[in-house]
Amino acid sequence: MLEWAAGLAIAGAAGITTWAAVSPWSELFGPVLRRADSPGAMALTFDDGPNPAITPALLDLLERYGARGTFFMIGRHVRANPQLAAELVERGHAIGNHTDTHPNLIWLSPARIREELTRCQDAIGEATGLAPRWMRPPYGFRGPQLAPVLRKGGWTGMALWTRAMFDWKPQPPDKMIRRMARARGGEILLMHDGDPFIERADRSHVLRALERWLPRWAEAGMTFPTIDELKGPALAMATS
């Protein structure tokens, strides 16, 4: 009986730890920003770029409807496309740190996490002259060692999401259009303009879906703040 109870406790602890490491709603390993702060606002975020195959067209689409996004960029892609990273900033979009090579941070030491973030920060700084305030852990995965690294490094915190579009693989645009129909004001949407390991990844389905929904959201009066313009519990990380 005691062995069974101990096993159940271990399983429960393992389940809680797993949830804390992967859920965008968990704050067990540090506060996270996961919602927009107004029911009339929707934050559009894009991971894994910049991607010369799709990001320029995406920037044109966003501009057409007066929308701004937040691009969580991978350092090695920024070094390969510094002009595109600079263009993002010049056109009024926000940028975030998505590490240098997109590793699973759960398994990395604090020193390795710091190296990943610093290399990405340096690449973004060289390309744009700016230092991102927010980071997004690859896959949303984090362990207890991440938050202390962010505090010591001066980052504002972790920006996660309310709703994922499950768009990281090529797919018919209609699938994403249907998923996007469930998006609501007050949410941070997770989308992808790139791929961690492919420089010119096919993200045409993302563009097609946004071509369908952006004009409808704009007509309904939705605003599109960047992550830098939101307020949330993750801001406590800067002073804790």
Pick the catalytic residue: 47, 100, 193, 195?
Answer: 47
- Is there a contact between 166 and 128 (Cβ–Cβ < 8 Å)? no
Pick the catalytic residue: 77, 102, 192, 205?
Answer: 192
Q: Which of 138, 117, 123, 118 is nearest to 78 (CA)?
A: 123
CA 37 to CA 187: how far, in whole Å? 8
CA 51 to CA 194: how far, in whole Å? 5
Paired tokens of 143: 């362990």
- Beta-sheet pairing, 163-164 with 187-192: parallel
Q: Is 192 a catalytic residue?
A: yes
Q: Is 205 a catalytic residue?
A: no
For the annotated catalytic residues, the residue numbers are 47, 192
